[in-house]
Amino acid sequence: MLGPDGEARFLHDHGPLLGLGLPHPVATVHETAPGTRLVLITDGLVEVRTEHLDHSLAEFSAAAPAGPAELTELRDALLPAFGEDQDDDIALLAVRLA
């Protein structure tokens, strides 16, 4: 989650993988300010088999708020920066919250 002030933070709420038919936890609410950007990614975008995942996530959390403010431009900056030569599936969804 990228706040309008440029602060990046990870949301740690999670449940089972989608499509498995397992029960999901109760929904969690996060207060957000107008203009907050939510960037959802699969692990394939940041996971590098020769590096610890925490290192890749730290790089991503530094690059995302430093990227362009417009969602399309942010996507176009993040995908090639992290998605080159990946062996896993990659998905990225970026939305601006009102």
pLDDT digits (tens, 9 = 90+) for 32-53: 999 999 999 988 898 888 889 8
Neighbours of 36 (CB within 10 A): 18
Tell me, what's the pLDDT at 20? 86
Residue extents of the structural domains in the chain: 37-96
The pLDDT confidence band at residue 14, using thresholds 50, 70 and 90, is confident
Q: What would the 3-class secondary structure string for the chain be?
A: CECCCCCECCCCCCCCCCCCCCCCCCCCCCCCCCCCEEEEECHHHHCCCCCCHHHHHHHHHHHHHHCCCCHHHHHHHHHHHHHCCCCCCCCEEEEECC
Encode pLDDT of 52-87 as tens digits.
Answer: 989 999 999 999 999 999 999 999 999 998 877 777
- What is the distance in angstroms between the CA of the first residue and the CA of the last residue of the chain? 13
Report percent pLDDT > 90 for the chain. 49
